[in-house]
Amino acid sequence: MISYEYGDPASRRILIQPADEHELAGIEREAAAIAALAGPDFRLIAVKIADWNRELSPWEAPPVFGKEGFGGGAEETLAEILLLCAEEGRRCFLGGYSLAGLFALWAACETDAFAGVAAASPSVWFPDFTDYVKAHGIRCGRVYLSLGDREEKTRNPVMAAVGDRIRELHALLAARGTDCILEWNPGNHFREPELRTARAFAWLLREG
């Protein structure tokens, strides 16, 4: 697993983010934004994802745009990420944007290794995901959720459900006692992803 590190290498507050090539191009700006919002005491580890739809999908699913479906390789990815949390005394937070945000939420259903989850514009339209969270529960105490206010305004019927699903997820987590916020951002899914992700991690750092 290839990873890149930013922030304070001595910090015991570890932010772990799956990221593809496009996101890695803006990761330094994201790290600077986190520091501006929450201070410099963090170590950001960006884990490079080569096959986005396969490596971050919790189970197989058909395509929702284009011809590429989802491969269900999240278990392997999580196993590698958990190695980054093995050292005692660290507080690890997992987060990401889009499908990486969904992966972070799913991972928190699988393990209690993370102190919090930063899910920026997560792909909670993913088939059967909300039912999965209802059945398994999220095993961390703090969750940040966000969405662009135009993301649900799409002609794609699967992705158009994202607004209803994230509202449902927020209500579910709040009812179960999770410290959870849902923040709405202006714009569609592709507006300011680095800043949205920075806000998500900064909220966890400030509140935790």
**Model's pTM, two decimal places?**
0.96
Residue in the block written with tokens 């201070």: 39
- Give dist(CA 74, CA 57) in Å, integer: 5
For helices 27-38 and 193-207, what crossing angle results, to 10°? 40
Tell me the CATH number at 41.
Answer: 3.40.50.1820
What is the number of structural domains in the chain?
Answer: 1
Paired tokens of 28: 């330094």
Residue 49, class by beta-carbon neighbours within 10 Å (0-12 exposed, 13-18 middle, 19+ buried)? buried
- Give dist(CA 150, CA 163) in Å, integer: 9
User: Does residue 3 sit in helix, strand or coil?
Assistant: strand
C-alpha distances (whole Å) from 40 to each of 4, 44, 90, 141, 206 are 17, 11, 16, 23, 11
Determine the structural domain holding residue 7 and report its residue range: 3-207
pLDDT for 156 equals 82
Nearest to 94 by CA among 83, 108, 80: 108
Q: pLDDT tens string for the chain (208 positions)?
A: 899 999 999 999 999 999 999 999 999 999 999 999 999 999 999 999 999 999 999 999 988 877 788 998 999 999 999 999 988 889 999 999 999 999 999 999 999 999 999 999 999 999 999 999 999 999 999 999 999 989 888 888 888 889 899 999 999 999 999 999 999 999 877 788 999 999 999 999 987 5
Contact present, 117 and 93 (Cβ < 8 Å)? yes
pLDDT for 69 equals 86
- Give dist(CA 155, CA 135) in Å, integer: 30
pLDDT for 208 equals 59
